[in-house]
Chain A
Amino acid sequence: MKLRYFAWVRERVGKAEEDIDVPSGVATVGELITWLSGRGEEYAYAFDNPKVIRAAIDKTHVKPQASIATASEIAFFPPMTGG
């Protein structure tokens, strides 16, 4: 599964994207954030306030409860400031 990071989430994780194998017990976006936080200090720092993290699965906004079962690309980013 491809993960992408933007803005300060990208800066804290230290990379813009990566391909990872997500363990079968991780079913939702929220659970993925928890699992990622345990992968290393940089991830814990990026996700230390999960409430401000937004996510998109295959380029569509999703909520934390969304299932990741059929996702090919999941992106994590802060609240948007375009416009």
Chain B
Amino acid sequence: MTVTVRIQREPFDAAVEAKKLSGGRTDVGALVTFTGICRGNEGSEPIAALTLEHYPDMAEAEIERHVAEATGRWPLLGVTVIHRHGRIPPGEDIMMVATASSHREAAFAAAEFLMDYLKTRAPFWKQVEKADGKVWVEAKATDDAAAGRWAAPGKKHEAAE
């Protein structure tokens, strides 16, 4: 099991990072990569950039907790999560999740689970930079709902509240 969790300011190469999970081994039959990218608009308005504030140490620890839950729930052979902070212009990657498994079901499910959890629990806060200044992005109820669907039957999703 190869687990990599990195919080960094610098850009990363998602394809290179994902390939590290399958390179040099023959037991990985499925490799899923999700990349979150900075769009050039928020709603219908163009933006100059996103700025991500984060809670150092907690961000890493919280994502590691999510990864531990994922590896407990699905038979994974590797997981990589990289999340940037700081100023990110449109078109650049903000973050990635890569999951490796023998078969696709676990790789797809774990990647989606990690994204839904990360969206509601990882301590990052986005600001959009528009022509007239910076505005904080508001959390979405749909993200909480998405995270909620992974709760074990009979258990409520702990959407950090």
- Residues of A that sit less than 8 Å from B by CB: 4, 6-8, 54, 56, 59-61, 63-64, 75, 77-83
Contacts and interface: CB of A to CB of B under 8 A. Distances in A.
A83 to B, nearest CB: 4
Contacts, number: 79
Interface stretch (B11-19, B67-75, B102-110, B118-126): B118-126
A55 B52 CA distance: 19
Interface of B is mostly: mixed
B77 interface: no
A77 B55 contact: yes
- What size tier do the contact residues of chain B reach? 20 to 34
Given A54-B161, A82-B95, A7 B62 contact: no
Given A8-B136, A54-B161, A81 B55 contact: no
Nearest to A10: B53
